[in-house]
Structure formats: structure tokens, C-alpha cells
């Protein structure tokens, strides 16, 4: 089915660190829509101020997502164009947005996702691990189901990509070592596109040893090699 050329909802990627990574098209969209939906209005407010964009914006995050979807659908049905942004990267990837996109599609509205920054792509390419086939796992559960999820990946042969926070990185690396073995290759990418970007690659044993001696700061993408089918 062909879609109309005028989108009702734009998904607009924002820089994951370096503000110069925003696209010209993204700026044009943000300047033209009737309303910008922001994961964190403080973060988005700084972005809009930097690029001198003066458009209405409101919060749209995981805690109010279910309550606001129908109201937003009604606004788009009335002819308003909306743009959804996350704090960094492409909306709806480990961020709120899936429910709104699904509801918009079900309502017959037109959704348009712009190309742009996504943290796991540069992390995967930087890792040096096979990238012809990979699986994106996002954030692991904090508590319940965490061990089960990791154990389900023991036989996974594709390169695996995870998002992780600094204070849980060592716990995750140790759990991966227990499940996959200390010689499994991995790469920790943090502060991507920023001044202090770091990509530490090696075996899980080597990566654990490195971060035992070095501070862990910034948002992290953890890339882990899949199981060798010949092993």
C-alpha cells in the first residue's frame, strides 16, 4: 500500500554526543512540525536552543506513554504534524515510541522515520567483530529474568549487542564470562562521538581486567562475539 507524501508522525534521530551529527533534514522537520515529543524536555530544550528552533514541545516518556497515546493520535487526525525525539539516537530503540508508532499505523496515519544517529551501529563497526549478522539485545533486565536471558544466548552464533549503564558494566561482564567463557571476544564502546570516546576490545577476561583498573563513565554499548560453530 502506498502512503501519502505528508507524514503525520516523524521519528527524528538526535545526536548521541556530538551535536554536529544531526542532519539538515532533521533540523528542517523540527522547525516545521506542530509539536515535538521529547523523552526529557530539559535535554531536548538544550538541543532546540542550540539550533535556534522555537517550536512547542512536551514530554513523552515511558511513564506517561500509555496515557498520552490516544490524545496524540487525535491531534494527528486533526491535521497536526508531530515529531518524536529521544534524548539521544533514534527514537523507539530502547526508548519510548513503539506504542505511538503502532497506534499511528493502526489509525491509518503516515509514519516517517528519518535516518540518523544510532549508538549500536558505530559500536558494532568499531568492535572488529563479525557484523554481517548480528542481534540487538538492548538493555538486559535489571533483576528478574536477567540470568535466564543471558543463558538463552549461550548458543547464539551471531554477534550480540547490548546497552549498559556504567554502574552495571562489571556485573554484566562477569555474568557474560560465566556464561560464554573468559576467552569470548568483546568490545566496550563508551562516550561514542564525544571527545573521550573509547573502544576497548579483547577477550572478556582482558576487558574485565582493563576496567578493574580504569574508571567507567558514560553511556555504554557492549558488543560480544557469538559462539564459534566449530567450538
Buried b (16+ CB within 10 A) or exposed e, 109-136: bbbbbbebbbbbbbbbebbebeeeebeb
Q: In what order do the strands lie in the sheet with 111-113?
A: 57-59, 35-38, 82-85, 9-11, 111-113
Query: What pLDDT score does 64 carry?
Result: 75
Distance CA 64, CA 97 (A): 11
Beta bridge partners of 113: 11
DSSP strand pairing (185-190 vs 198-203):
antiparallel
- 131-176 pLDDT, tens per residue? 999 999 999 998 889 999 999 999 999 999 999 999 999 999 999 9
- 97-132 pLDDT, tens per residue? 899 999 999 999 999 999 999 999 999 999 999 999
Would residue 69 be called left, alpha or beta, if left means φ above 0 and alpha means ψ between -120 and 50 degrees?
alpha
Q: Structural domains in the chain?
A: 9-113 (3.40.1010.10), 120-224 (3.30.950.10)
The pTM score is 0.89
Query: What DSSP character marks residue 66?
Result: H
Burial of 144 (0-12, 13-18, 19+ CB in 10 A): exposed
Average pLDDT, the chain: 93
Q: Name the least confident of 57-71, 76-90, 99-113, 213-227.
A: 57-71
Beta bridge partners of 164: 220
Measured CA distances, 98 to 11, 25, 61, 95, 105 (Å): 11, 22, 11, 8, 11
The length of the chain is 231
Query: What pLDDT score does 230 carry?
Result: 81
Distance CA 165, CA 177 (A): 18
Amino acid at each position: 500500500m502506498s502512503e501519502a507524501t505528508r507524514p503525520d508522525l516523524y521519528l527524528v534521530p538526535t545526536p548521541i554526543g556530538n551535536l554536529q551529527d544531526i542532519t539538515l533534514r532533521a533540523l528542517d522537520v523540527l522547525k516545521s512540525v506542530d509539536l515535538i515529543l521529547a523523552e526529557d524536555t530539559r535535554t531536548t530544550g538544550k538541543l532546540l536552543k542550540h539550533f535556534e528552533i522555537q517550536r512547542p514541545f512536551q514530554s513523552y516518556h515511558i511513564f506517561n506513554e500509555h496515557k498520552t497515546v490516544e490524545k496524540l493520535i487525535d491531534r494527528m487526525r486533526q491535521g497536526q504534524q508531530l515529531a518524536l525525539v529521544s534524548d539521544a539516537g533514534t527514537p523507539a530503540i530502547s526508548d519510548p515510541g513503539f506504542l505511538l508508532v503502532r497506534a499511528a499505523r493502526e489509525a491509518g496515519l503516515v509514519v516517517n522515520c528519518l535516518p540518523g544517529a544510532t549508538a549500536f551501529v558505530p559500536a558494532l563497526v568499531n568492535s572488529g567483530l563479525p557484523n554481517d549478522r548480528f542481534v540487538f539485545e538492548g538493555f538486559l533486565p535489571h533483576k528478574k529474568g536477567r540470568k535466564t536471558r543471558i543463558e538463552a544466548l549461550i548458543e547464539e552464533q551471531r554477534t550480540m549487542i547490548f546497552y549498559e549503564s556504567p554502574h552495571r558494566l562489571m556485573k554484566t561482564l562477569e555474568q557474560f564470562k560465566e556464561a560464554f567463557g573468559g576467552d569470548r571476544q568483546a568490545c566496550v564502546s563508551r562516550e561514542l562521538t564525544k571527545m573521550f570516546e573509547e573502544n576497548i576490545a579483547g577477550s572478556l577476561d582482558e576487558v574485565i581486567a582493563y576496567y578493574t583498573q580504569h574508571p567507567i563513565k558514560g553511556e555504554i554499548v557492549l558488543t560480544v562475539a557469538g559462539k564459534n560453530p566449530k567450538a
